[in-house]
Amino acid sequence: MKRKIAVMMEQEKEANRTGAFYKSKAEAESLIALHKRMLTLRVVELSSNLITKGLAVLIVVLFGALSLLIGSFAIGRYLNTLLESQFMGFFLVCGGYLFLIVILIVCRKILFDSLLRNAVIRTLFQMISEK
């Protein structure tokens, strides 16, 4: 009889432990799902901010490129009238751009690798630290 009672008490303790485990497991799964959802929302927010800023920069660059193109034609035409030539002004403008391209190619490691990368990293960390 005592043995039966001891076995029953042991089974009851085991059931209580198992029930508590299942309860805490369900809570843990709920917390994991909540954190997963929060992380997903955070990633969506950061990526949407990054895409929005990227599109804004793209629009500014597009209008800047169009302005540069139209300005180049204007400067070329003006130099043509000064030099009394049909093409020399355009060649001078083209030569100026080729000179800038050569400078950018020579200095690309300094300009693009370090400065641009650091600017992107700094922007991303500022976006993350703001939240």
Helix, strand, or coil here: 85?
coil
Q: How far apart are the first and last CA of the chain?
A: 65
What are the start-end ranges of the H helices in the chain? Answer: 2-83, 88-106, 108, 117-130
Query: What is the pTM for the complete model shown?
Result: 0.56
Summarize the confidence of residues 70-91 as an average pLDDT: 94
Using the CB atoms, write b or e for 63-72: b if 16+ within 10 Å.
eeeeeeeeee
Integer Cα distance of 128 and 131 in angstroms: 6
* pLDDT tens digits, 96-112: 999 999 998 888 877 77
Contact of 92 with 80, CB cutoff 8 Å = no
78: left (phi over 0), alpha (psi -120 to 50) or beta: alpha
Q: Is residue 54 packed enough to be buried (19+ CB in 10 Å), middle (13-18) or exposed (0-12)?
A: exposed
Residue whose pair of structure tokens reads 């008490």 in the numeric block: 9
* pLDDT tens digits, 2-55: 566 666 667 666 656 655 555 677 777 888 888 888 888 888 887 888 888 889
